[in-house]
Amino acid sequence: MTMLGVDPLLHLAQSQISQGNAVQAIETLKQALSQDPDRAEAHALLALCLLEMRRIDAAAHEARLGLAADPLSPLGHYVQGAVQLGQRKLVEAESSYRTLLDLEPGNPENYRAMARLLEVKGNKTDAEAHLNKALELAPDDPQTLTALGEMQLAAGRIDEAQRLADDALRIQPEHLDGLVLRGSVALRRGDVKTAREHAIWALHLDAGDPGALRLIAEIKSRTNWFLGLWWRYSVWMGELGAGRAIFVLLGAFIVYQAATIWAGQHGQSDLASVIRLLWLGICVYTWVGPGLFQRSLQREIGNVALKSDF
């Protein structure tokens, strides 16, 4: 059997990665590295695969080897930033991505990478600016359109999120993230049927996609009388943003305290007890709701086979 050279093996590994087959890609990259142990691209791609499989320490090691072999490799800095983000080393990841943008300012994926990091850091304004720059470089890129749409949806700008999702799906009708975004928009509008259709379509494309599985869990939460209230509350708080959400919670606590004190001072001890019970019930509900949702999500991840009666 003819042995493939390093370059064909790297092309094969890239194809396997694009198909979501990290396990086979790892074996292919090991063959490439056995022929050329100092090939920077092979180390970087191997780091990406290991990161996909949540083997972060091993991914960090490969990323370091890749950059040692070629310190000016854009792919090397991209991968190093992704690994550092996975390690929650946000300052180091930002430094890697800024170097990446200096080395390769014309690649929209680099701006999307920086936007993901900035969003994790809570800097949504700059994150959106980087996505808009990516869109300037590639106006018909469905990945950028979808990323912008997800940001708009998180901020409660549903019409804009739907427009971006529709644009992405016009360009690529089976774009996985675009389908999930369109389903999420439909769910936010209360159109459960459309949300379910898009979730099923996405899962036909990739039965293990985390976004599609999460959408299914959200649909089930939305249609469940107990979790439905928590889902609406969670969406509303998410749209407010961290800063305003804290003020809402603080304000609610102040109102609770004031109402309890007023009832006590006016001889309404029964009313004061009812207020305390209601507040306790709300606290317990908002505490257990996320856990119940996560269990629902884990059930979906554990059973990725589609059922026709979903």
What's the pLDDT score for residue 210?
A: 79
Q: Evaluate whether residue 34 is within a structural domain.
A: no
209 within a domain of the structure (yes/no) = yes
> What's the pLDDT tens digit per position in 287-300?
666 666 566 556 65
The answer as to whether 160 is a domain residue is yes
Phi-psi region for residue 54, left (φ > 0), alpha (ψ -120 to 50) or beta?
Answer: left
Q: Report pLDDT for 270.
A: 72
Residue 264: inside a domain, yes or no?
yes
Residue 229 inside a domain? The answer is yes
pLDDT per position as a tens digit, 226-256: 555 555 656 555 555 556 656 666 666 677 6
Model confidence band, residue 304 (pLDDT cutoffs 50, 70, 90): very low
Per-residue pLDDT averaged across 58-66, rounded? 96
Q: How far apart are CA 216 and CA 298, in angstroms?
A: 11
Mean pLDDT of the chain: 83
For 69-111, the pLDDT digits (tens) are 999 999 999 999 999 999 999 999 999 999 999 999 999 999 9
0.75 exceeded by the pTM? Answer: no
Give me the domain span that covers residue 232.
155-310
Model confidence at 310, pLDDT cuts 50, 70, 90, reads: very low
Q: Which token pair is 206? A: 């990739």
* CATH label of the domain that carries residue 199: 1.25.40
Q: Domain for residue 179, yes or no?
A: yes
Residue 214 belongs to a domain: yes
Q: pLDDT value at position 175?
A: 94
Q: 58-62, 195-199, 262-266: which has the minimum mean pLDDT?
A: 262-266
Question: For the chain, what percent of residues have pLDDT higher than 70?
Answer: 77
Between the ranges 5-14, 60-69, 215-224, where is the mean pLDDT highest? 60-69
Domain count, the chain: 1
Q: For 65-69, 102-106, 129-133, 270-274, which range has the lowest pLDDT when averaged over its residues?
A: 270-274
Q: Is residue 56 part of a domain?
A: no
- Indicate whether 286 pLDDT > 90: no
Q: How confident is the model at residue 151 (pLDDT cuts 50, 70, 90)?
A: very high
| Average pLDDT value for residue range 173-187 | 94
Predicted pLDDT at 306: 42
Instruction: Give the per-residue pLDDT at 308.
Output: 38
